[in-house]
Amino acid sequence: MEIGIIGLPQSGKTTLFHALAGAEKATAAYSAGRLEIHTATTNVPDERVDILSKMFNPRKTIYAKVTYADIAGLDKGITKKGLPGPFVNQLGQMDAFVHVLRAFPDPLGGNPIDPAGDLAILDTEFLLNDLGAVERRYEKILESISKGAKDKDLALKEKALFEKLKAWLEAEKPLRDLDLTPDEMQLTRGYGFLSLKPMLIVINCADEGAPPEVPYPHQHSAVVALRGRLEREIAELAPEDAPLFMEEYGITELSRSKVIRLSYDLLGLQSFFTVGEDEVRAWTILRGATAVEAAGAIHTDLAKGFIRAEVTAYHDLVELGSLKEAQHKGKFRLEGKEYVVHDGDIVHIRHSG
């Protein structure tokens, strides 16, 4: 899962990228045409992992992870030129976006603070880009049907879907607000529609003062404010120095942690845990995943040889203090392949081979 960080020039998106990367600096850079993309994989803060690690004192503690990509490619002439092709190609590969809005004085002194206006600029470009892609595909579907499509039923389903997408976009509404069935979502895969992807709006504020209100009443979206420059400075401090810096600026919790958690949640992800003396680990799965899918997240061989899943709820384990006590109190269950794993489940897979 990869999340693209986007924003207009001088929005501070690269500053946010470094703040999210934190002290880990697990970064890489690669080129895509004229674009240079920097990526960073960072831990998802989760106090449950910390608590489980204290309980089991394992040799290794491993958190769930999120990968961010800082994608360059926008300039001030976007409203006249439209989105550049290489930029669109990279955006289409992302699973979600973090859109950074400038809410601090322009360092170049030329542009007023207008986060809502900046948001509308890129949202409009996403809509127009998707509408163009939908119209082109719709014409091809009609042509295929007129020539006797090999799979007529599939072609007719696509025709109905793209008529729905076209009407929605023409009404200037992002596709993430359109309720699509699982089958319809499956048919959209491969097109990389930009307005369909989850969106986290980050209002990048000045070091002092209250953040402006930026309403964003859309599905699969969230809004958070942070002070990007300060967050980056704190992220790059030694762990023992960070609390003093935070106290000086009245920061009780790093917004960086909130952004990462919201990113994870917007992707429809959740964590289950495996525990033991060797390792305490958070594993990432989609909400609604089954026990056999969770087994596959650990290793494909576990899914192939799946017999049963031993499951204990996180809160039961913590309350009772041990897996042995959870079993004694009847909080330890054996579940089959179709069991839907809940966020925070402690899971051990029984398997053959």
The pLDDT of residue 26 is 45
Judged by average pLDDT, the poorest of 37-46, 183-192, 212-221, 242-251 is 242-251
Q: Give the mean pLDDT of 236-264.
A: 82
The pLDDT of residue 76 is 62
Residues 6+ apart with CB under 8 A from 105: 113, 206
Query: Could you tell me the end-to-end alpha-carbon distance of the chain, in angstroms, rounded to an integer?
Result: 30
**CA separation for the pair 271, 261 (Å, rounded):** 11
Largest Cα span, the chain: 71
Asked if residues 312 and 346 have their Cβ atoms less than 8 Å apart, the reply is: yes
**CA separation for the pair 236, 326 (Å, rounded):** 41
Highest mean pLDDT: which range of 17-21, 75-79, 175-179: 175-179
The pLDDT of residue 33 is 53
Q: Give the mean pLDDT of 36-50.
A: 90
What are the backbone dihedrals phi and psi of residue 296, each rounded to the nearest 5 degrees, phi first? -65, -30
pTM for this model (two decimals): 0.86
Q: How confident is the model at residue 38 (pLDDT cuts 50, 70, 90)?
A: confident
Judged by average pLDDT, the poorest of 19-28, 240-249, 312-321 is 19-28
Reported as a single tens digit per residue, the pLDDT across 260-274 is: 888 888 999 999 999
User: Going along the chain, which residue ranges are E strands?
Assistant: 2-6, 27-32, 35-43, 60-62, 65-71, 96-103, 199-205, 221-226, 269-274, 279-286, 306-312, 333-335, 346-351
Sign of the four-CA dihedral 274, 279, 282, 284: negative
Question: Mean of the per-residue pLDDT values for the chain?
Answer: 89
**CA separation for the pair 215, 116 (Å, rounded):** 8
Highest mean pLDDT: which range of 140-149, 244-253, 310-319: 310-319
Highest mean pLDDT: which range of 68-82, 216-230, 313-327: 313-327
Task: Spell out the domains of the chain, with CATH numbers in brackets.
Answer: 288-351 (3.10.20.30)
The pLDDT of residue 10 is 87
